DNA sequence: GAATGGTCCCATAGGC
DNA sequence: GCCTATGGGACCATTC
């Protein structure tokens, strides 16, 4: 493993005045905080995924072909990506010739 | 592919005099609306994915091992999923013995 | 992608007396061998899938509810997976605190 | 998990005096048997999937492009399927004209 | 034919 | 910098 001590739950007492449990508690708190933040975000992300699914369902109910819609969206995304790339390239060129 | 509604990408008729073209325009509008709603949601979803990545990066910078954190999160999720499934199974059993 | 090129990376001459076409032949042999091995394995895999289907059918004929059986099997699998993951996590922790 | 409860909607009686509860025990046995047969088969199926993965890995290590190999296999499968279909159609025609 | 679950493929991310 | 591993998305088969 790369980092020193992964989830340092075992470990060394860093605050001499405190008990071992204290510093452990702090580390644990931070870890828990990270985990919960991530879980919260993933929950929201999942909610959005569900929303998207719903919209597809609605489109389907309206009589549209979902697969085709997906294809269109993919194409549009490609276009956007490409456009962004082109703009980025343009920026690079402009920067290269000192036009900021 | 189901050709009928599917390919209605044309959609750009905005002639006020209506007729078949008018309904196509309407269909096109609806299609565009669906697509844009989805794109908007996917954008937000992507933003959340980026946020999550950031939190992982922050945790890593703090000295935690990302891989381990991922594992913990996965396990917690498994717990939740399993609990849900157990409840679903119970429902199934109840239904099977006619207890609705 | 250039499909033709794809398979040619192996192309080193193993028979010093042969020309390029010979080494290509060897490469082709190896490729064919891989493909046939995979196809054979997939055939067996498919046969097993069919067997499983049969067992489900038999269970159904016996009066069991297939859906419920599926759910039970899924849950049992989850249990096993989770146990494995817990062990893996333990390993990770042990490694993290230097207990190999 | 409470395996015994399974699809035995009533359940856990193993009283030696038999009666309805005895037949339930028998039912439980059958259910368990089905489940274990399926699990065994899925295990083998998974083993084959792993084997296939290994072969792909070996092919890759040899210098072949996995994606392309997949494509070839897919094409060959299509050919086989098509051939089967043609044969089936031929059978149908032969049957239709009374040539068994 | 609609919904669901399972499988496969790809693209990205992290490790060596 | 490659290469493996993991997660997400698409497709497909099956069930109700």
DSSP 8-state assignment for residue B5:
H
Calculate the angstrom distance between C1' of E12 and CA of B16.
Answer: 48
Question: How distant is the alpha carbon of residue D98 from its chain centre?
Answer: 36
Calculate the angstrom distance between C1' of E15 and CA of A85.
Answer: 29
Alpha helices in B1-100 (DSSP H): 3-6, 20-62, 66-96
Q: Residue B20 — very low, low, confident or very high, per pLDDT cuts 50/70/90?
A: low
Q: Which of C68, C85, C93 sits opposite B92 (nearest CB)?
A: C68
Q: What rounded mean pLDDT belongs to chain B?
A: 80
Is the per-residue pLDDT at A99 higher than 80? yes
B93 vs D10: CB contact, 8 Å cut-off? no
Answer yes or no: are the C-beta atoms of C93 and A9 closer than 8 Å: yes
How many beta-carbon pairs below 8 A join chains B and C?
44
CA angle C19, C24, C28 (to 5 degrees): 150
Question: Counting runs of H as helices and runs of E as strands, what totals does chain D give?
Answer: 2, 0
Residue D70: CB less than 7 A from any atom in strand E: yes
As averages over each run of 10 residues, the pLDDT of chain D (100 residues) reads 43 50 79 96 95 94 92 90 88 91
C85 vs B96: CB contact, 8 Å cut-off? no
Q: What rounded mean pLDDT belongs to chain A?
A: 80
Is the per-residue pLDDT at A29 higher than 80? yes
Residue C66: CB less than 7 A from any atom in strand F: yes
Q: Which of D34, D55, D71 sits opposite C38 (nearest CB)?
A: D55
Is the per-residue pLDDT at C1 higher than 70? no
Q: What is the pLDDT of residue C65?
A: 92
DSSP for C24-77, written as a single string: HHHHHHHHHHHHHHHHHHHHHHHHHHHHHHHHHHHHHHHT--HHHHHHHHHHHH
Q: Which residue on chain B is closest to C69 by alpha carbon? A: B89
Q: Which residues of C touch A10 (CB under 8 A)?
A: 96-97
Q: Residue B96 — very low, low, confident or very high, per pLDDT cuts 50/70/90?
A: confident
Answer yes or no: are the C-beta atoms of C76 and B59 closer than 8 Å: no
The dihedral through the CA atoms of C14, C19, C23, C26 has a sign that is negative
C38 vs D56: CB contact, 8 Å cut-off? yes
Answer yes or no: are the C-beta atoms of A49 and B45 closer than 8 Å: yes
Q: Residue C15 — very low, low, confident or very high, per pLDDT cuts 50/70/90?
A: very low
Helix or strand holding residue A94 (H, E): helix A66-96
Calculate the angstrom distance between C1' of F5 and CA of B14.
Answer: 51
Phi-psi region of D98 (alpha: psi -120 to 50; beta: other; left: phi over 0): left
Calculate the angstrom distance between C1' of E11 and CA of D65.
Answer: 17
Q: Which nucleotide minimizes the distance between its C1' and the CA of B70?
A: F6
Residue A12: CB less than 7 A from any atom in strand E: no
D42: which residues sit within 8 A by CB, 6+ positions away? C48, C52, C73
Structure-block tokens of residue B81: 């999923």
C52: which residues sit within 8 A by CB, 6+ positions away? D38, D41, D42, D45
Write the pLDDT tens digit of every residue in C37-96. 999 999 999 999 999 999 999 999 999 999 999 999 999 999 998 988 888 888 888 877
Q: What is the pLDDT of residue D6?
A: 42
Q: Which residue on chain C is closest to B88 by alpha carbon? A: C71
CA angle C53, C58, C60 (to 5 degrees): 95
The rounded distance, in Å, linking the Cα atoms of B11 and B22 is: 9
C67: which residues sit within 8 A by CB, 6+ positions away? B92
Q: Which of C65, C71, C81 sits opposite B85 (nearest CB)?
A: C71
CA distance D67 to chain B (A): 26
Q: What is the pLDDT of residue A98?
A: 94
């Amino acid at each position: 493993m790369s980092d020193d001590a992964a989830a340092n739950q075992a470990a060394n007492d860093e605050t001499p005045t405190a008990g071992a449990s204290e510093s452990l508690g702090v580390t644990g708190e931070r870890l828990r905080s990270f985990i919960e933040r991530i879980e919260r975000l993933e929950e929201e992300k999942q909610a959005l995924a569900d929303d998207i699914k719903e919209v597809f369902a609605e489109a389907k109910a309206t009589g549209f072909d979902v697969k085709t819609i997906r294809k269109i969206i993919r194409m549009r995304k490609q276009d956007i990506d490409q456009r962004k790339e082109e703009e980025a390239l343009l920026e690079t060129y402009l920067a290269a010739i000192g036009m900021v």
